[in-house]
Amino acid sequence: MFSASPDLAFSRRMWPLGASFVALPLLGPILVWLFTCHRIPGWCEVPKKLSWCPSHKILLLVWTTIYSIMGYASYLVWKDLGGGFGWPLALPLGLYAVQLAISWIILIFFFVVHAPGLTLLHLLLLYGLVVSMAFIWHPINKLAALLLLPYLAWLTMTASIAYHLWRDSFCPQNQPQPPRGRRTPEALGHGRGGRMARAGLEETI
C-alpha cells in the first residue's frame, strides 16, 4: 500500500486550523446579528437619508466576506511563522487580534447604537491599525498583506458612510428644508393667528 506523502499529510493536518482562522472573525457579526437583529434595520434612519447608502443586509454580507478573507490571511501569516504560539507571532497576530476586536466594536456602534460619530473615530483608528498590520505582514507573507487591500477599501467606504450620517445628523445646514414658495404648517398657523389678532384689534378700535 502507498503511504500518503508528507505534504499531503501536513495539508490534512492543517486544514482544520485554517478553517478555524477563517471562522474566528465571523464570530463578531454573528453575535451582533443574533442578539440585536431587531435594532439593525434602522441603522441608516437619519433626517436626510443617503440615496447611495446600502441596506444593512448588504453591508453585513460584505463585512462577512471581508472577515473571511482577513481570517485566511492571518492563517497564512501564522503558518509561515511556524505555527504554535511563540514570540514571533506576538506582534503580527497580536495586532491582528486588537484590530479585530475594534472592528467588532464598530459593528455595535454602527448597527446597534446608531452612533456614526463614534463609528467614524473608531474607523480611523482601525484604518491605521490595518495599514500597520499590512506593513508588518508583507515581509512574512506577501499574499496575506495583499489580501488586506479589499479590507482597506471597504473601511474607506464605511468611513464615508459614517461621516455623511454624522454630518447630516448634527449639522443644521444639512437638514432637509421645505421647498421654496411653500409655507410650512407652523408658518401658516402663525400667519392665521396674526391676521385674527389684527382683526380683533381693529374691532376694538
| Domains identified in the chain and CATH numbers | 16-174 (1.20.1260.100)
169 contacts 176 by C-beta, under 8 angstroms:
no
Segment 1-21 shows an average pLDDT of 62
Instruction: With cut-offs at 50, 70 and 90, classify the pLDDT of residue 47.
Output: very low
110 contacts 119 by C-beta, under 8 angstroms:
yes
Instruction: With cut-offs at 50, 70 and 90, classify the pLDDT of residue 180.
Output: low
